[in-house]
Amino acid sequence: MQMRVTLQNRAITLQKAIRDHSSDTAKSTEQIASGKRVQRPSDDPSAVRQSMLARAQLAQTEQFLSNIDIGLADLDMAESVLSQISGRLTRAQELASSASDGAVSTSARAAMALEVDAIIDEVVALSNSQFRGRYIFGGENTLQPPFVRNGDQVTYNGSDSGTLRRISADSPLVETTSSGAGIFFVNRNASNVVQDGVFAGLVALKQGMETNNQQTIVGTISTLRTELDRIVAGRIAVGARGERLELTKNRLQDQQLQLIDLKSTLEDADLSQSITNLQRQQLALQASMSVTASIVPTSLLDLLFS
C-alpha cells in the first residue's frame, strides 16, 4: 500500500514537472517566433496596462506631430507669399517715387499707372494663394477666394480669425492659417469692401497717376511704406509661430522616442535571453521525461511482482 502511494506521488510530481516545462518551452518558443515578451494579458497584467497607456500616448504624440508638420507647411507657404507681396510693394514704392517728380510727363505717369494696375492684380492673386486646396489668407473660410477685385474696389470674403491647431496637450492652440484682416487691411465697410491697407494704397497710387495728380502720388509714398511695414510685421508673426511649432516638434520627437523605447521594453522579447531560456527549458523537459521513463516503468513492475 505504501509503495502504491509513493508511486502515485512520484507520478503526479513528474507529470506536473513535464507539464510546467512544456508550458515554459512553448512560451519561449512563442516569444522567439513573435518577438514579443507578452503574448496575452495574463502573462503580465501590469505590463499590459502600461503598454496600452504608452500606445495611447504615442498615438496622441504622433497626431500632434502631424498637426505641426501641416502647420509648418502652411506657415512656410504664407511666409513665401508675403515675401513676394513685399517685393511687389517695393516696386510700387519705386514707381511712386519716380512719378512724384514734377518733371514726369502725363503720358509717363499713365504708363506707370498700367504697371501699378498689374501690381494690384498680382497682389490680389498672391493674397488668394492656395495650399493643399485651401486659401491661406481666408482665415477660417478656406474654401473660397478671400479677395475679389472689381475695378478699383477689393472685397474681402474671409473671416477675421485664422485656423487654430492643437500642437500638444499642454500648450494653447496655434494659428497656422491667417486671416487677411490685419495683414492686408484693417477696415472694411458693410459690403466687405476694404477701406484701407495694401489695396487702398495701390489703388490711390494708380488713380493719382491716371489723373496726373502729383499731390496724390506723393501722399501714397508714406502710405505704401506703412503697408509694407505691415506686411513685414505679418511675416515676422508667421515666423514666430513657425519657431514655436519647431520647438514643440523637437520636444515631441524626444517624447516619441521615449515612448517607443518604453513600449519596446514592455512588449518586446529579449531574443538572446529567450533562446537561452528555451535551451534550458528543453533540457529540463528532456530530463523530466527521462526520469519519468526510468522510474515509472520500474516501479510498476515492482508493484506487479510485489
Say if residue 102's pLDDT is above 70: yes
Q: What is the mean pLDDT of residues 267-283?
A: 60
pLDDT on residue 41: 63
pLDDT on residue 126: 97
For cell 506521488, the residue is 9
SS (H, E, C) the chain: CHHHHHHHHHHHHHHHHHHHHHHHHHHHHHHHHHCECCCCHHHCHHHHHHHHHHHHHHHHHHHHHHHHHHHHHHHHHHHHHHHHHHHHHHHHHHHHHHHCCCCCCHHHHHHHHHHHHHHHHHHHHHHCCEECCEECCECCCCCCCCEEEECCEEEECCCCCCEEECCCCCCCCEEEECECECCCECCECCCCEECCHHHHHHHHHHHHHHCCCHHHHHHHHHHHHHHHHHHHHHHHHHHHHHHHHHHHHHHHHHHHHHHHHHHHHHHECCHHHHHHHHHHHHHHHHHHHHHHHHHHHHHHHHHHHC
Residues 144/157, Cβ–Cβ less than 8 Å: yes
Say if residue 28's pLDDT is above 60: no
Say if residue 51's pLDDT is above 50: yes
Say if residue 192's pLDDT is above 50: yes
Average pLDDT, whole number, for the chain? 84
Count the neighbouring beta carbons within 10 Å of the beta carbon of residue 137: 27
Query: Between the ranges 45-49, 248-252, 290-294, where is the mean pLDDT highest?
Result: 248-252
Of 68, 65, 81, nearest in space to 176 by CA = 68
- Per the structure block, which three cell numbers stand in for 90? 517695393
Of 198, 213, 240, nearest in space to 84 by CA = 198
Of 207, 201, 118, 190, nearest in space to 155 by CA = 190
One-letter amino acid of 154: V
b/e string for 14-38 if b means 16 or more Cβ within 10 A?
Answer: beebbeebeebbebbeebeeeeebb
Span of 18-27, 84-93, 169-178 with lowest mean pLDDT: 18-27
Span of 93-97, 281-285, 296-300 with lowest mean pLDDT: 296-300
Q: What is the mean pLDDT of residues 192-220?
A: 96
Architecture of domain 54-263: Up-down Bundle (1.20)
Of 301, 281, 296, nearest in space to 13 by CA = 296
93 class by beta-carbon count within 10 Å (0-12 exposed, 13-18 middle, 19+ buried) = buried
Q: What is the mean pLDDT of residues 146-153?
A: 96
pLDDT on residue 29: 61
